[in-house]
Amino acid sequence: MSTNSWTHRHILSLTEFTPKEYNIILQTAASFQEVLGRRMKKVPALQGQVVANLFFEPSTRTRNSFELAAKRLSADTLNFAPGTSSLSKGETILDTAMTYLAMGTDMMVIRHRDAGVPTAIASAMDRNGYQVRILNAGDGQHEHPSQALLDLFTICKLLNSTEPRIELLEGKKIAIVGDILHSRVARSNIWSLTASGAEVHLAGTPTLLPKYFAEFGKNRPSKLFVHWNIEPALEKADFVMTLRLQKERMSQHLLPSLREYHQLFGITRDRLKLCQPGVKILHPGPVNRGVEISSDLMDDSQLSLISQQVTSGIAVRMALLYLLGGGKTDNG
C-alpha cells in the first residue's frame, strides 16, 4: 500500500479531489476492509499516534466509526463531548483544540454545527507551524467529506467488489433527492460524483433546492441536473440517494407538512418502478422513517445499502486516517 501520491495535509472539502486521489482512497479502504474481515482486525499502522474526536455536534455513525477506525489502526483515541467539557466554562473552540494539541494529538476529527470551524482550526494550526492533521467530520451546511467517500466506496464496491474505482461510475445515473439546501452530505457527494463521469440528478422542492445548485456542475467531468419534481430524477436511475429532512436546520417554514413532503418527494416502492431494475438506495442516516423514505424500504436489504454504508464507513475512515497519518504497513 503506497501513500506516495497522497498530498493532502488535511481533509476539509472534496472540491479539489482528483479521480486519482479518489482511487487511492478507494483502494486503501478496500485493503482495510479485507483486514476487517480477518479474525485479527487490527494493524499497527498508527501505533503511538493520538486521534482526538472533537464532536461539538451530536453524531452516532461518524464519531463511533472514526473511533473504531483509529483503534483498528492501533492509534490512541481521545473523545470530546461538549456537555462535559470546559466549553461550558467559557473556553473557546480554538483553545479546546490547542489543549488537545498540547496532549500530543496528531489528528483531530472535527464536527461542528457551523460551516468553516474545521477549516478555521486547520488554518490556525498551520499558521503556527503545528503538524497536526484535521479531518472535517461534518460542518454546518458546508461539507461531510468522509460520508461522501464512504458513499462512493459503497457504490464502487457493489459494481466491482475486488477493485473499486471511480471510473466504474461512468455512464451511471445517480439521483440525490430531498433537503439538498441544508445538506453537507449532498454538497460533498456533488463534488465526488461530478468527478466520476456519472450523471448526477438533484431533486427537491424549490425551497430545499435553490437554482444556484446547477452552478455546482460547471466545468466538472459529469453532467449535473436540477429538478423540482422527483420523476425525471428517478427515471432510469441506477442509484438513489435520499437525504434526511433536517428539521433542526429549518429556521423558516420551508414545507407545508411532513406528510405532503413524503407525498411529493418520499422514496417509495411505487416510485422506484421508474428506476433501472436493480436500483439501490442510499441514505447517510439518521433516517426520518416514513418521511424521506418509506419505513419498509429502509429495511429491505435487496434495495437498501444503508447498513453497508455504515459498515463501509469504518474501512473508509481507516483509509483517511492512514493516509493523513502517513502510516506504513503491508497489512500482513
Cell numbers representing residue 135 in the block: 479531518
Considering only 147, 194, 304, 308, the residue that binds ligand CP (CB under 6 A) is 147
Q: Decide whether 116 or 285 has the Cβ nearer to ligand CP.
A: 285
Residue 123 CA from chain centroid, whole number: 22
CA distances in angstroms from 150 to 50, 82, 276, 280, listed in the order given: 23, 26, 23, 15
Helix axes 306-325, 19-36, angle to 10 degrees: 110
Shortest distance (Å) from residue 229 CB to ligand CP: 26
Shortest distance (Å) from residue 210 CB to ligand CP: 22
Residue 192 CA neighbour count, 13 Å, CB half: 32
Q: Decide whether 62 or 105 has the Cβ nearer to ligand CP.
A: 62
DSSP codes, 125-184: HHHTT---EEEEEEETTTB-HHHHHHHHHHHHHHH-SSS--GGGGTT-EEEEES--TT-H
Shortest distance (Å) from residue 128 CB to ligand CP: 29
Considering only 61, 113, 165, 271, the residue that binds ligand CP (CB under 6 A) is 61
Q: Decide whether 18 or 60 has the Cβ nearer to ligand CP.
A: 60
Q: What mask of x and - would describe binding to ligand CP in positions 152 to 191, judged by CB under 6 A?
A: ----------------------------------------
Shortest distance (Å) from residue 30 CB to ligand CP: 21
Core vs surface per residue 93-111: b (16+ CB within 10 A) or e: beebbbebbeeebbbbbbb
Q: Decide whether 77 or 276 has the Cβ nearer to ligand CP.
A: 77
Q: Which residues contact 316 (CB under 8 A, 6 or more apart)?
A: 25, 29, 146, 149, 150, 153
Considering only 62, 96, 136, 288, the residue that binds ligand CP (CB under 6 A) is 62
Residues 115-144 that bind ligand CP (CB under 6 A): 138, 144
Residues 272-311 that bind ligand CP (CB under 6 A): 284-286
The yes or no reply on residue 145 touching ligand CP (CB under 6 A) is: no
Residues 31-60 that bind ligand CP (CB under 6 A): 59-60
Rounded to whole angstroms, the Cα distance separating 227 from 209 reads 8
End-to-end CA distance of the chain: 11
Q: Which residue has the cell 463501509?
A: 312
Shortest distance (Å) from residue 225 CB to ligand CP: 25
Burial of 328 (0-12, 13-18, 19+ CB in 10 A): exposed
Q: Decide whether 138 or 325 has the Cβ nearer to ligand CP.
A: 138
Shortest distance (Å) from residue 99 CB to ligand CP: 23
> Residue 94: phi, psi to the nearest 5?
-65, -40
Shortest distance (Å) from residue 138 CB to ligand CP: 5
Q: What letter does residue 236 receive in the DSSP assignment? A: T
Shortest distance (Å) from residue 170 CB to ligand CP: 26
Burial of 149 (0-12, 13-18, 19+ CB in 10 A): buried
Which residues form the interface with ligand CP (CB under 6 A)? 59-62, 138, 144, 147, 284-286
